[in-house]
Structure 1
Amino acid sequence: MSLYINIKNIQILAAVIITAAFSSCSNGNQVKKDPSSPEKYFDIPAFFQKEIDSLASINPEINKTVKKDDQEETKILKIKDWQIELSSFQAIDLNKPAYAGFVKVDSTDSLIQYSFTNPELDLSCVRIKLNKEGNAEMISIEKEVRNTLYKTSEFLVYEKDKFYLVEKNQHVKVMGENYYKVQGEF
């Protein structure tokens, strides 16, 4: 498996810090909803399908970094299948029935934050930064899955026309700790 070395971590780190600085996710009060008319939240799968279609048509060259534990490598390349490349993002659907009744929404003119009030759910926080026109320009997602065998924490960030990041920490009881990172810069 080939790995890549990254040379632009400062931009990624700054974007992540800015996203986190907007506010922290917390388990606030549960939002009560009328089950006969469920609230519709931002459609993340549709947003990423548009991004996938756009990226497939323009076929940009990206600086891609892959890291596993302490091994890291970077290459400049063109992505063959954006559907696969962004699948972790597109799989996040705020409108899944499992989340109904457990979503707390906080928003300003430039940020929508979704917090999940049930700690057994895989999502803990989704933040969507909006541009001046009210369109999504950055999405960050915090996920955690736990069971008796393993614990996985994921942090995903996508900034339109700039970069994407998928960072995963995994602890498997018998196998120990694993760290993975995939990062692409446009």
Structure 2
Amino acid sequence: MCLYKTHTLCFLILLCAISSCTEDKKTPDIKNKYFDIRGFFNKEILRLSAANPTVLKKVIHNGISEEKQVKIPNWKNELDVFSASDLNKPSWRDSYNIKVNVNGLVYTTLDSTLKIKRIRINKSGNRITSIDIESQVSNEIYNSTELLNYYPDSLYKIKKTQQVKLIGTNTYQINGKIKP
């Protein structure tokens, strides 16, 4: 019986020693310089997933369109292109001009090599009424532009144009009208 207590005591001491050696993985709470796009869309993803609204979704690819009412099974995938436009990357900390006005915020790139050229966040009081994002990637053989618009509880649009030398132009647009 005494041997059992000794083993149990040794096990508990070992467990405490191991747990005290683990590294605290909390990241420092660094204030974002720019609006937290990723955080905003993570909240929207949770809200829309819980509400499960019907969406009138229209997809246009090179002029050919298709429209149908759907339930979005994965809002994270659906809005990922918006979340990916977050400006709060350490290397971009001083890369955008910030213009604040009564209607919201406008971020404009100071570095022409960055993909995200401009983000406009429109507000009514403290409520966000829309987010508009303009992106562009360009090099000698490829040019891509992307226009993203999001209106909470109403509509989202994704419009992309790709021009590839020797292949041509490819365009697509997704309009998602969120039904109450």
Per the normalisation by structure 2, the TM-score is 0.79
How many angstroms does 1:38 deviate by?
Answer: 8.1
Unaligned runs of 5+ in 1: 1-36
2:177 alignment partner in structure 1: 185
Provide, for residues 143-162 of structure 1, a one-character-per-residue CA deviation record: whole Å limited to 9, x for no partner.
00112321100000000011
Choose which of 62, 65, 71 in structure 2 pairs with 1:69: 62
Distance 1:38 1:146 in 2: 32
Identity of aligned residues (%): 35
2:131 maps to a residue whose letter is I
Higher RCO, Cα 8 Å, sep 6+? 1
2:151 alignment partner in structure 1: 159
2:36 alignment partner in structure 1: 43
Greater C-alpha Rg: 2
Unaligned runs of 5+ in 2: 1-29
Per the normalisation by structure 1, the TM-score is 0.76
What's the Cα RMSD here?
1.4
The answer on 1:98 being equivalent to 2:91 is yes
Aligned residues of 1:168 and 1:180 also touching (Cα < 8 A): yes
- Once the two structures are superposed, the pairs formed by residues 51-62 of structure 1 within 5 Å of their partners are 51-62=44-55
Q: Which has the higher helix share?
A: 2
User: Secondary structure at 1:152's aligned position in 2?
Assistant: strand
How many angstroms does 1:39 deviate by?
Answer: 5.9
Aligned residues of 1:38 and 1:100 also touching (Cα < 8 A): no
